[in-house]
Chain A
Amino acid sequence: MTSERGTFGTRSVQFAFLAIAGGAWWFATETGSVSRLLLPPPASVYATLERLVQTSAFWSAVLVTLTTIAKAFSIALVVGILAGYLITRSKLAMDVIEPVISGLFTIPITLFFPMFILFFGIGSGSKVAYGATYAFFPIALNTIAAFSGLEERYLRAARSMGAGRWDTFRYILLPGAFPVLMTGLRIGFFICLASVLGGETISSVAGIGRNIALAAELMESARMFAWITFVVLSSVTLNLLVYSLETRLRSR
């Protein structure tokens, strides 16, 4: 959406914005106008983070979260694409089922989180199920849009050239659907990430989210901020990575 090139002027405004935000953080803690509990100084957050990444507890928490995300996303990917594709094979099935899925998706799936806890317990199982359920929706909806959005005339053209069923799927349907499919996977992935973190924050025994919530409960705000900084930095990096990957795939 923001393919517009920044100029020197806009870049400097962006830089100034970040600098002011960082400066305000530093200034507020220096003058003591904000409680240290709510906003620890940047230096102490950095020191805490530095100490944290050297502990094995840190990396085992990260590993728990990453494994949970990987499991949840794999389930959502397979089930979402399969279900989405099968639904598009019948016009009637699409008319009947698609509104149900898109309607459900406007309700926060988080509502059902207590049910997942009830069914799968407080461990990572409930987070896998919750993350997979949440990510299923955008993946399935985009798969439906991807395979049904293809214009009829391409299929007709392919048929006129003598393409068989497999040829049509391999050379027409799949490449035509690919960009929208990828969008669904990207949205699904980040929703999966956010919901796993959210599940861990609300109710769990391990993982990144649990550690943030724990630090908050114990009022160790430097530790909490260190974790938040880690999450923010890695998710922003991940976003930029996925974005550049997508632009590269698309420009080919």
Chain B
Amino acid sequence: MSEATLQAKTSTFSAVWRNPTFLRVLLIAAVVLALEIYGRGWADPAFMSPPSGIMNAFLVKIAPEPKIIEALWFCVLQIAAAYALSVVVGVIIGLAIGATNFSRVAFFPVVLLLFAIPQVSLLPLVILMFGLGPAAKIAFGFSHGVFPIIMNVVAGMRDVKELHRRAARSMGASRADTIRHVILPHIVPSLFTGLRLGMTLTLLGVILAELYVSTGGIGYYTRLFAENYSPAPLFALIGCLALIAVLFNELVRIAERRLTPGKRRHPKLKIPVKE
């Protein structure tokens, strides 16, 4: 927005109207306004609630309810645990598979094969194995999040430039030197691509498991609200979860900006290609 106001001062008003960020905010505001008008005027209150009603439901039915807040907090902890596990295990497996040409050609197709399985078909089994508590949700989040991290670490290691390796060797670098100063820094941008996708999928895994288990946690409340036809608190709860998801995604982005040396950041990933 500050950019928009700056432009308005220096040039004409049409510059503001062509500013994408400004227009985006305007577009979202228009959608919210339309929902508000539709929600108040025509919608069946059993299915729809205007945004103001959702805000109100958040203040009255969600925020003062310690059990719902606790469920949300648990959700945050599970996501954090599942993601931490995905990162550690994913990086280790990725490095192991990418270490040599042989291990990559041998094991990478196995990883792709496992990734091709619709994991959601294993969800009931995971719940049977790990129970209804956080363990199952962490396990399911982990099994989703670990794959993109493995795949991008392997891809990053494959792309190390032969000339960079050769330059290091000509300077007298040992194998350990090459790994520390050439290979590891090289995979950073690709690793972060994996970390971003890994976060998206960890969120998916944890949320899927949360929704499946309807006897407690988030899944209980979503089912409760949906069955009682009370859309306002349902939307408010979903909004809270979406906010949590946005915050987690943003954390990864901040880490990426901070930790990527030079101007080597990959362009913003537009196509979340699943391979």
Whether A224 sits at the interface, judged by CB under 8 Å, is: yes
In the complex where A107-B242, A141-B270, A212-B124 touch, is A114 in contact with B106 (Cβ < 8 A)? no
In this complex, the member of B225, B268, B274 whose beta carbon has the largest number of chain A beta carbons within 10 angstroms is B274
Whether A209 sits at the interface, judged by CB under 8 Å, is: yes
Residues of B within 8 A of A195 (CB): 120
Q: Mark out the residues of chain B between 76 and 126 whose CB falls within 8 Å of any chain A CB in the assembled complex.
A: 102, 104-110, 112-113, 116-125
Assess the B211–A232 pair: CB atoms within 8 A.
no
Residues of B within 8 A of A113 (CB): 211
Interface size of B by CB at 8 A reads 63
Assess the B271–A138 pair: CB atoms within 8 A.
yes
Interface size of A by CB at 8 A reads 72
Look across to chain B and name the residue whose beta carbon is closest to the beta carbon of A7. Answer: B105
Assess the A111–B207 pair: CB atoms within 8 A.
yes
| Chain A contact residues, majority secondary structure | helix
Interface string of B248-275 (1 = CB under 8 A from A): 0100000000000000000011111111
Residues of B within 8 A of A202 (CB): 208, 211-212
4 A-B pairs closest in CB distance: A216-B124, A95-B20, A10-B106, A198-B120
Instruction: Give 11 new A-B contacts, CB below 8 A, not counting A96-B24, A96-B27, A114-B222.
Output: A1-B112, A10-B106, A13-B107, A92-B20, A96-B20, A100-B24, A106-B245, A110-B208, A118-B231, A118-B234, A191-B274
A interface residues with partner B (beta carbon < 8 Å): 1-2, 4-7, 9-10, 13-14, 17-18, 37-38, 92, 95-100, 102, 105-108, 110-115, 117-119, 138, 141-142, 144-145, 180, 183-184, 187, 190-191, 193-195, 197-198, 201-203, 208-209, 212-213, 215-217, 219, 221, 224-225, 227-228, 231-232, 235-236, 239
B interface residues with partner A (beta carbon < 8 Å): 18, 20, 23-24, 27-28, 47, 102, 104-110, 112-113, 116-125, 127-129, 151, 155, 196, 199-200, 203-204, 207-208, 211-212, 222-223, 225-226, 229, 231, 234-235, 238, 241-242, 245-246, 249, 268-275
Instruction: Give 12 A-B contacts (CB < 8 Å), ordered by A residue.
Output: A1-B112, A5-B105, A7-B105, A17-B110, A18-B110, A92-B20, A105-B200, A105-B272, A212-B124, A227-B121, A236-B117, A239-B116
